Structures are given as structure tokens and as C-alpha cells.
Amino acid sequence: MIPQFVVIGAGVIGITTALELQRRGQFVLVLDRKGVAEETSAGNAGAFAFSEVEPLATPGIMRKAPKWLLDPLGPLSIPPAYALQIVPWMYRFWRASRPDYYKASLSAQAGLMELSREALERLVPMVKAEPLLQRDGQMQLYESEAEFRASLPNWHIRREHGVEFELLESPAAIAEKQPGLSTRFTHAGFTPNWLNTADPKKWVDHLAQIFCDRGGQIERQDIRALAPLENGVRITFSDGTLDVSKAVIAAGAWSHHIARTLGDRIPLETERGYNTTLPEGAFDLRTHLTFSRHGFVASKINGGVRVGGAVELGGLTLPPNFKRAEILLRKAAEFMPGLKTEGGTQWMGFRPSMPDSIPVISVSPNAPSVVYAFGHGHLGLTQSAGTAELVGAMIDGAETPISLAPYSATRF
């Protein structure tokens, strides 16, 4: 049977979208150069971070950036070998931090978060995925009264968008939620409705198995180009071509290269994220921890601890710098006395990031039969179910639950 719908990308966005299209009655083929969840979807922190509504490009952030960039192992860095290449993206990032643009991006992010939260709760019972979830909340930690007070506007923004939270103003209050932390953390914000998956790789594998059990197909193919046809699109890969009615590009950090074969130039960049996953018993972690000032998190993965984060704007081809993972682990050991750091596995992944932190969920300007679903940055897992529902509605020609204008491929 020749598929009429192809999804390019077998990460969390691609597989969730394929499952949604299948639910709507389509026979779907998924193509990926490596296989299911073999890239960023395998090693992320496992968080459904619906409360994180604020874009990275905030007013005044460019005043902080030079200090960060001077530290090659800090929370935000650009390798010297990549500095010139990323200038156009950084210019757009600066523009996105202007107050008017920021306000629009904040609204778009909050709208997609609300839809994605509701969509996830619809998806979970349909695929019997509740055993893969951890509903343990999240704690954002601060090291001083001044740092905590500076964060309060962000908490007010969350409240405006319906996010439940509790503010903790002493080490003792923090210890009630999460024992074993350094007393350097004097304040925190706790979001009780935050949830994680026990393993992001297992999450995507589970969805992919459901998709295949219901008649879907997944194949390994290295996509070379797309070309519009009168009533569809031609997909060229390493050993042939395939003509289909519709194609969805959900290939993460590689998506803009495929889009360029259609003549669409989309300013997608790559945030390289690093982590170390420690085995079961490394620490009694009871909630997802965010070390705000230091730009990294600690999450519970398969009973162990995954320590990772930070942003390295370094593209797809430079070799990894695992010193970044090592320094995050050293900090975690300092912040979580008693953390057993032996036996860890290091990892680096490529986060597909737009200058305004808002993904592209849009029909291609040059190919009406191609839909884009990429650029979610740190939030691919979080926004996967909502993105899938939007793509499904677009392909069905139905009204979407939120306006797609903020996610347009032509907004830049």
C-alpha cells in the first residue's frame, strides 16, 4: 500500500504527529535517517514544562549575553569557530527581545502550552501511557533574597496564564519538598502540576509501537530533497523517490536544510545541550529541580538522575565539548550533597531553536502540500501533543483551536 501521508522525522514531534494523523483516518509512513528517537528526543530531561511560558529572548537579555559568552563553560556560549556563522540568528534574537515582539511571543508560547497540556491529557489514556509519567512537580531554586525577588515578575506572568505554584522562602520549606539540598538555596518556586516522563526514549518508543500496531509504517531513509507537485510532493532520498499527497517536516535541528530544498529559508539554529545520566540510587530525587542561575536541571530518569542543560549555540558539525557536561555534574554534586556521581553516561543533543523561541507550525510558502512542525527548542516533548493536533487540523482543512499566525514560516 502506497502511503498518502509522510512524516519526516521519528522524534517526539514526528511520532506524535504521525499518531494523530493516523487517528484521523490517514495511512501514514514515517521516514527518519536513524530511527525512532535516536536524536534529541532520546536524551532530553523528560519534562513536560507547561509552566515555562516565557521565551528566551526577553527584554534586556542582550545586556547579559556578553558576560555569559565570555565564559566558554557558562550557561550560554558560542564556540569561536561558530561565531560568524550565527551572527544573522543573533540579530533576529535581539529583535525578538524587543518589548513588543516579546509580548507577542509570550502570548503565542502561552497559547501553545495550554493547548499542549490539554492535548497531552487527551493522548495519555488513548495510548495507555500513564505508567510512563511522573507527576512529581518541579522546584526552581534561588540562592538569595535578591535573586528570588528578581524572579517574581516571571512568577506573576505564570499566574496570569493560570499556572499553579507555591513560593518557598526558607531552606526548611525547601527541604520539606526535597531533602538533601545545599542550604545555599534560600528560596524556591514549586509548581505542583509539572510532570515528567520516566524516560523520554521509552515515551517515544511507546508511541511508535502504538502507531505501528495500528498499521503505521516507519522506515530509515536519508532525505535529500523535496519538490512540489501539482497535487502533492516528491520526496527524494538516497536510493529513490516517493510521490505523496502530503508531507510533514518534523526533523528537528535538520528541518531547515530540508525546507531549503523547497526554497524556504527559515532561521533555525542549534542549541547543543549536554547531560550526564547517573544510575538508580544516585540521589533521592523527589521532584524536578531547576537551578535557575546556573542554567541546568536535575530530573529523575528510570530511578536515576539526569543532570543537564545550558545552551551552546554551535551548530550541527562541531565536535562535542563534554567539559560542559562535566562542569554541570560538578555543580550538581555541590548543590546536592550526597549525589553519587559515579557510573554516569554523557550525552549531547541538538535542540532546534528559533530566534523568538516559537516553533514553526505552518504550511510551506512554496509547497502547499508540505507542513512544517519544528523549531521547538527545549520544549519539543512539552509541545508535541499540541503540535500534533494543530498539524492534524491543518491537513484536514479544519479550524485550528488556536491561531496559527504566530507560528508562520514567513514571520521573519
> C-alpha grid cell for residue 278?
547517573
* Residue 262 included in any domain: yes
User: Is 65 a residue whose pLDDT tops 70?
Assistant: no
Q: Is the same domain home to 69 and 140?
A: yes
Does residue 37 surpass a pLDDT of 80?
yes
Query: At which of 332, 353, 374 does a domain end?
Result: 353
Report H helices in 127-199.
145-160, 171-177
Is residue 226 within 8 Å of residue 372, measured between CB atoms?
A: no
Q: What is the pLDDT of residue 73?
A: 66
Whose CA is closest to 378, among 19, 151, 134, 51?
51
Asked, for residue 364, whether it belongs to a domain, the answer is yes
Cβ neighbours of residue 357 closer than 8 Å, sequence gap 6 or more: 55, 56, 57, 96, 105, 109, 377
The DSSP element (H or E) to which 15 belongs, if any, is helix 12-23
Arithmetic mean of pLDDT, 16-38 = 96
> Quick check: is 106 in a domain?
no
Is residue 61 scored above 60 in pLDDT?
yes
Sheet (strand 47-48) strand order: 47-48, 195-197, 133-134
Contact call for residues 7 and 17 (beta carbons, < 8 A): yes
For 24, the grid coordinates are 484521523
CA distance readout (Å), 202 to 46, 142, 243, 271, 284 = 10, 32, 32, 23, 22
Average pLDDT of every residue of the chain: 94
Write out pLDDT tens, residues 350-397: 999 999 999 999 999 999 999 999 999 999 999 999 999 999 999 999
| Cβ proximity of 269 and 175 under 8 Å | no
Instruction: Check whether residue 81 and residue 163 sit in a common domain.
Output: yes
Angle at 310 between CA 166 and CA 253, to 5 degrees: 110
Same domain, 214 and 347: no
Asked if 9 and 249 touch (Cβ cutoff 8 Å), the reply is yes
**pLDDT computed for residue 57 by the predictor:** 86
What pLDDT, in 10s, does the model give residues 158-169?
999 899 999 999
CA distance 309 to 77: 12
Which CATH number does the domain housing residue 254 bear? 3.50.50.60
Domain assignment present for residue 378? The answer is yes
Quote the CA–CA distance of 239 and 328 in Å, as a whole number: 42
Residues 140 and 228 in one domain: no
> Based on the domain organization, do 167 and 211 belong to the same domain?
no
Q: What local confidence, expressed as pLDDT, does residue 66 receive?
A: 65
Look at residues 337, 241, 229 and name the one whose alpha carbon lies nearest to residue 282.
337
Report how many domains make up the chain.
Answer: 2
What pLDDT, on a 0 to 100 scale, did the predictor assign at position 51? 92
Residue 108 in any domain: the answer is no
309 in a domain, yes or no? yes
pLDDT for 68 beyond 70: no
**Do 298 and 400 have their domain in common?**
no
Q: What are phi and psi of 6, to 5 degrees?
A: -125, 135
Report the CATH number that the domain containing residue 184 is assigned in CATH: 3.30.9.10
Nearest to 253 by CA among 188, 182, 350: 350
Taking the CB of residue 238, how many other CB atoms lie within 10 A of it?
A: 10
Strands (E), 279-344: 288-291, 296-301, 304-313
Give, in order, the Cα–Cα distances in Å from 68 to each of 62, 64, 76, 88, 321: 10, 7, 6, 19, 17
Residue 117 belongs to some domain of the structure: no
pLDDT tier at 29 (50, 70, 90 boundaries)?
very high
Average pLDDT value for residue range 275-291: 97
Burial class (CB in 10 A: 0-12, 13-18, 19+), 225: middle
Q: Which residue has the cell 523528560?
A: 46
189 pLDDT band (50/70/90 cuts)?
very high
pLDDT tens, position by position, 203-252: 999 999 999 999 999 999 999 999 999 999 999 998 899 999 999 999 99
Q: pLDDT digit string (tens) for 314-345?
A: 999 999 999 999 999 999 999 999 999 999 99
Q: Is the pLDDT of residue 2 over 70?
A: no
Residue-number span of the structural domain to which 63 is assigned: 50-97+124-197+269-353
Quick one: 330 and 347 in the same domain? yes
Residues 263 and 275 in one domain: no
Radius of gyration of the CA atoms of the chain, in A: 21
Share of the chain above pLDDT 90, in %: 87
Residues 86 and 169 placed together within one structural domain of the fold = yes
Bridge pairing between strands 133-134 and 195-197: antiparallel
Q: pLDDT tens for residues 103-145?
A: 999 999 999 999 999 999 999 999 999 999 999 999 999 999 9
Per the CB < 8 A criterion, the answer to whether 300 and 178 are in contact is: no
**Do residues 167 and 147 share a domain?**
yes
User: Which has the closest alpha carbon to 117: 48, 166, 54, 163?
Assistant: 48
Is there a single domain that holds both residue 138 and residue 164? yes
pTM of the model: 0.95
User: Do both 221 and 307 map to the same domain?
Assistant: no
Contacts of 18 (CB under 8 A, 6+ apart): 7, 28, 30, 211, 216, 248
- Asked, for residue 257, whether it belongs to a domain, the answer is yes
Predicted local confidence at residue 400, as pLDDT: 96
